[in-house]
Structures are given as structure tokens and as C-alpha cells.
Amino acid sequence: MMADHNEAAFEKEICEYLEARGWLYSANDHDGGEYDRERALFPADLFAWLEATQI
């Protein structure tokens, strides 16, 4: 029988690591607007990044 794996702790550790280095993280996925499954991103995040880095 295969053991159940829970990656929640691993995910939390990765998110905390990235957040400490400036990555925006929200435990509530809806904070970033509508998620685009096809492109695997939040368009609002992409446009905010473009404005901050390309202007």
C-alpha cells in the first residue's frame, strides 16, 4: 500500500522562502484576481510586474 503524501508543509516552506526574498505570496489565491489556467498565472500580477520593471 502506498503512503499518502502531504506536501502542504513543503509548499509553505517554499512560499515563505520566496516571500522573504520579495515574492508576493497570498494564502488566498483570489487576492491576485482571476487565475488564467491556460497560462498558469494571474494576469494582474503579470501586468503589475511589467509596469514596475519595463517603464
Signed CA dihedral, 35, 40, 42, 43: sign only: negative
Looking at residue 27, the DSSP 8-state letter turns out to be: S
- Written as nine digits, the cell of 37 is 489556467
Summarised one tens digit per residue, pLDDT across range 12-46 is 889 899 889 988 777 666 555 788 889 988 888 88
Residue 4 has pLDDT above 60, yes or no: no
End-to-end CA distance of the chain: 55
C-beta of residue 35 within 8 angstroms of C-beta of residue 29? yes
